[in-house]
Amino acid sequence: MRTVGILYPGFSAEDDYPRAEKLLTDGATLPLVHTEMKVDAHREDALLDIGGDEVLAEGARRVAAESGPLDAIVWACTSGSFIFGPEGAARQAAALERAAGVPASSTSFAFVDACRRLGIGSVALGATYPPDVAGAFVQFLTHHGISVLTVSARDIITAAEVGTLPNGTVLDFAGAVASDAPQADAVLLPDTALHTVEILDALEHRVGRPVLTANQVSIWQGLRLAGADLDRPGLGTLFRKG
């Protein structure tokens, strides 16, 4: 049985993780702690604050104390990692790994690794963020060799508001994003505040190609780092190894 610690900022779509855990038939667990979020805002200064090394180190200490030994740990926040830039995000993940003493990553790098796993070279991006924050993720993906063909930014400031979006709205959003770039290899929905775990297969059915979502790739990355990279139904193309 593998244990992947999840560090999650604030409160919005954290219930995606216990939902996913029920689908992990090998007994893998995803214990989650809420890290400090002084200001809930998709804004550069607030994002730099929630992704600080001390904030994440404290989260790592708490999740280990509450769940016991970990096999891997993930900073489950896309904007709170890519906002540091490619090099800064790499330093952030390395600092978390040192603090936790187990393999570590963040959602931003999980998207990159998931695209590489599936051979995805071009994407359509459906961001809940304001345009400037979405642009920072475009730069991050481009740095790692992923071409972003179109960007749709919904300009929602708070994670709490994103977490209230119903499944139908998320499905419609993904469909609209996909229609803007029919030639894109995949659709990316990068906010961990967005509920998606219950509708991963439905999302892919709607758009007719792989859809990568933030909580999905965070879970996949953690399990992969923990040595539990298995075929898992119900969690989208990313979790199907065949």
pLDDT at 149: 98
- In tens, the pLDDT along 11-38 reads 999 999 999 999 998 999 999 999 999 9
Q: Into which CATH architecture does domain 118-213 fall?
A: 3-Layer(aba) Sandwich (3.40)
Q: How many Cβ atoms sit within 10 Å of the Cβ of residue 185?
A: 18
pLDDT band at 77 (very low <50, low <70, confident <90, very high): very high
Q: What pairs with residue 116 in β-bridges?
A: none
pLDDT at 171: 98
Considering the chain, what is the average pLDDT of its residues?
96
Q: Which is nearest to 93 in space by CA: 77, 115, 75? A: 75
Q: How far apart are CA 5 and CA 198, in angstroms?
A: 21
* Assessment of whether the complete model's pTM goes beyond 0.95: yes
- In tens, the pLDDT along 105-158 reads 999 999 999 999 999 999 999 999 999 999 999 999 999 999 999 999 999 999
Percent of the chain predicted with pLDDT > 90: 96
Q: How far apart are CA 210 and CA 64, in angstroms?
A: 33
pLDDT band at 242 (very low <50, low <70, confident <90, very high): low
Percent of the chain predicted with pLDDT > 70: 99
Domain ranges in the chain are 4-110+216-239, 118-213
- In tens, the pLDDT along 45-61 reads 999 999 999 999 999 99
pLDDT at 110: 98
Tokens of 155: 């300009």
Q: What is the CATH number of domain 4-110+216-239?
A: 3.40.50.12500
pLDDT at 1: 85
**Cα distances (angstroms) measured from residue 32 to each of 18, 50, 60, 143, 220:** 9, 16, 10, 30, 15
Q: Do the domains 4-110+216-239 and 118-213 sit in the same CATH topology, yes or no?
A: yes
Over residues 195-200, mean pLDDT: 98
